[in-house]
């Protein structure tokens, strides 16, 4: 069952799925993905939604002209870094988007931190456990 995951994520993994997200972004995004071996599907799904929501926030709220997404498997952890060159000031307590992502990450035993000083840049850092 695919649930709410895009077919490309299930079939081809994070690199292909996130490449599709980046291709639709209204601002240029550099994407670096190194997730071998492939993480469990729950981790892939969470990583996909973290990046997709973070890039949506960048496009809607940041005033950024570019962003970078880096995802790497480091042993039994998946590290995600989404950074933009926008105006900063993102606050997870002021809306449901970042708060919902934090809840999703914590449900898997991971952690998430948003660094967003006024004036920018904004960085969303996430680590997810990959133990199956």
Report pTM. 0.91
Name the nearest CA neighbour of 101 among 51, 58, 63, 64.
Answer: 51
Residue 2 forms part of a structural domain: no
Residue 96 forms part of a structural domain: yes
Residue 93 forms part of a structural domain: yes
CA 22 to chain centroid, in Å, comes to: 11
CA dihedral 25, 28, 32, 37 (to 10 degrees): 10
Q: What's the pLDDT score for residue 132?
A: 56
pLDDT in tens, 54-80: 999 999 888 999 999 999 999 999 999
Domain that holds residue 65: 7-129
Q: What is the total count of domains within the chain?
A: 1
Residue 40 forms part of a structural domain: yes
Residue 85 forms part of a structural domain: yes
CATH code where residue 66 lies? 3.30.565.10
Residue 1 forms part of a structural domain: no
Residue 52 forms part of a structural domain: yes
Q: What's the pLDDT score for residue 92?
A: 72
Tell me the pLDDT of the chain (132 aa) as tens digits: 334 667 888 888 999 999 999 999 999 999 999 999 999 999 999 999 999 999 999 998 889 999 999 999 999 999 999 999 999 988 777 666 788 888 999 999 999 999 999 999 999 999 999 975
CA dihedral over 84, 17, 97, 126, signed as positive or negative: negative
């Amino acid at each position: 069952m695919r649930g709410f995951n895009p077919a490309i994520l299930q079939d081809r993994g994070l690199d292909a799925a996130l490449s599709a997200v980046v291709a639709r972004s209204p601002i240029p995004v550099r994407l670096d993905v190194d997730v071998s071996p492939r993480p469990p599907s729950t981790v892939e799904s969470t990583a996909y939604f973290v990046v997709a929501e973070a890039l949506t926030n960048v496009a809607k709220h940041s005033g950024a002209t570019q962003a970078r997404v880096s995802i790497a498997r480091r042993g039994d952890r998946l590290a995600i870094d989404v950074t933009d060159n926008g105006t900063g000031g993102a606050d997870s307590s002021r809306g449901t988007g970042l708060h919902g992502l934090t809840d999703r990450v914590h449900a898997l035993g991971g952690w998430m931190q948003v660094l967003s000083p006024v004036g920018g840049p904004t960085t969303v850092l996430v680590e997810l456990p990959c133990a199956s």
